[in-house]
Structure 1
Amino acid sequence: MMKYISLIVLFLIMSCGNKEDIVLPKADRTIVSNIEDHSPIYIFFRTNEKDTLAEVNRKNSIITTNWIFNIDKRLPLRIVIPEVMKLQDKKRKEKAHKNEKAENYYSYADSIGKNMAFIPFTKVYYKLEKPIGISIFFNKKNEILVDHVIVKQDELDNYLKKMADNSNRYQLCFDEEMSFDSYVKNIIFLHSIKLQTTENFIF
């Protein structure tokens, strides 16, 4: 297990003789604490003048294992999610060495337990478009809008229950300019109120 350092986790790997780091997202609870038979995928934060770029390193990934996505928290969703989608698609289309039990996880740091933690997202399909139906939209200002009505995070669960609707109809949407750090925090929050869908819309 990676060492937890001052509430910020730095992954140090060697690439062409250079030391590189990824600053992981942080949250206050653990969804999954341990994963066996895994291989890493790294998505680095890069800049080129005024542009922000994502650099993917998957040279140590093995298709039959659980994949752990170590993604720099500073990357916006509009840049990182297309890279995640490509890797998901590659694994889903694998035929010769497919392992039906192999999962995909995002890694993050639990700032309370001071340990590495993971979120499964194998069954999530990302769509880079606006959905049809009742949307729960998380914007880059950390606001939650349910069909354009702002709802406080600690009131969302009760608000949805009062709507007396089927949660399967809700479409989870996220601002494409949101940081990966904020996205992970929001997903962990949704886990806490048991609100999950198989589709995430990014726009």
Structure 2
Amino acid sequence: MRFIYFILIISCLSCNNERVLLLPEIENAEVTEVLDVSPAYIFYDETQPDSTLLNRKNLIITTNWLVNVDKRLTLRQAIPHIKFLQDKKRNAEMHKNEDAKNYFSCNDISIQNLGFMDFTEDYYKLIDIENDSINLQILNPSDEHYRKGVLEHGYISLSVIFNKNGLVKYKNGFIPISQYISEIPIYDSQIVANGFTLNLYFDKDLTFQDYISIKSELSKFLNDEIILGHFQYIY
């Protein structure tokens, strides 16, 4: 069945001789098969004002949506179209299927086939990070606030800020996400909260490929103590 979907997508992309869509690459996708689907495409197209072209004519509201985004696009280009598609499904009044999900299609190089990333529960918000800086919760492992029991049985929020190169702001520099995760005091016995919620902030000039790579890398570290917030912020 996965092979059929792979051929279906390639066939659709081949309908226009001049149009090519490069899927973002991923390894060991958690989802490798999706049934009852309809596709949307967000192409990289330099002839368009924002270099993007959305094709959604084949979407059926009651199905699982496979959103195929060209990996060369930046978040500034891709996210408005993704938000538009999400709102279209969430605001549907008739024939709504609460079980239908949204997935990004990816090229899973570990299996040489399609893989999928679920983004059904993700909410994207475009912000001015300078104006929003008062709301940022920067990681400080020595912060005594973590140990005062204010968030007992709750989660401590952390603002994880990625620059356009996919690195995370920490102290006076930028580090890989794996190193950032290692700085979170998960095993500090004095912290009585359930864990930490990561609220993700992405530079608008980050490519969609880098965005998918970051989300895939993050999934390796998620557990009961480290969870993701539903809102993702583009600055």
- Opposite residue 234 of structure 2, the aligned amino acid is I
Match of 2:55 in 1: 57
- For structure 1, which runs of at least 5 residues remain unmatched after alignment? 4-8
CA distance in 2, matches of 1:186, 1:197: 15
Any conservation in 1 of the 2:177–2:218 contact (CA below 8 Å)?
no
Match of 2:199 in 1: 171
CA distance in 2, matches of 1:146, 1:10: 45
CA distance in 1, matches of 2:68, 2:27: 18
CA distance in 1, matches of 2:53, 2:171: 35
The RMSD of aligned alpha carbons is: 2.3
Q: After the TM superposition, which of the residue ranges 139-148 and 172-181 deviates more from structure 2? A: 139-148
Aligned length: 194
Q: How does 1:139-150 map to 2 (within 5 A)?
A: 139-146=163-170, 149-150=173-174
Q: How does 1:97-108 map to 2 (within 5 A)?
A: 97-108=95-106
TM-score using structure 2 length: 0.75
Q: 1:160 aligns with which of 177, 184, 195?
A: 184
Q: Which has the larger radius of gyration?
A: 2
Q: How does 1:13-92 map to 2 (within 5 A)?
A: 13-15=14-16, 18=17, 20-48=19-47, 52-92=50-90
Q: 1:138 aligns with which of 162, 167, 172?
A: 162
Structure 2 residue 34 is matched with structure 1 residue 2: no
Alpha-carbon shift at residue 140 of structure 1 (Å): 1.2
Any conservation in 1 of the 2:13–2:19 contact (CA below 8 Å)?
yes
Task: Report which of the two has the higher share of strand.
Answer: 1
Alpha-carbon shift at residue 154 of structure 1 (Å): 2.6
Match of 1:12 in 2: 13
Any conservation in 2 of the 1:11–1:20 contact (CA below 8 Å)?
no
Structure 1 residues 59 and 13: CA distance shift in structure 2, 3 A: farther
Q: How does 1:179-190 map to 2 (within 5 A)?
A: 179-190=207-218
- For structure 2, which runs of at least 5 residues remain unmatched after alignment? 138-158
Q: Could you report, residue by residue, the CA deviation over 1:155-176 in whole angstroms, capped at 9, with x for unpaired residues?
A: 22221235857422x3201110
Alpha-carbon shift at residue 95 of structure 1 (Å): 1.1
- Aligned structure 1 segments of 4 or more residues deviating by more than 2 angstroms: 9-13, 146-154, 161-166
TM-score using structure 1 length: 0.86
Identity %: 33
Match of 1:6 in 2: none
CA distance in 1, matches of 2:210, 2:92: 31
SS in 1 for 2:44: strand
CA distance in 1, matches of 2:102, 2:56: 13
CA distance in 2, matches of 1:122, 1:105: 7
CA distance in 2, matches of 1:147, 1:101: 42
Q: Could you report, residue by residue, the CA deviation over 1:120-139 in whole angstroms, capped at 9, with x for unpaired residues?
A: 01111000013523221111
SS in 1 for 2:59: coil
Match of 2:155 in 1: none
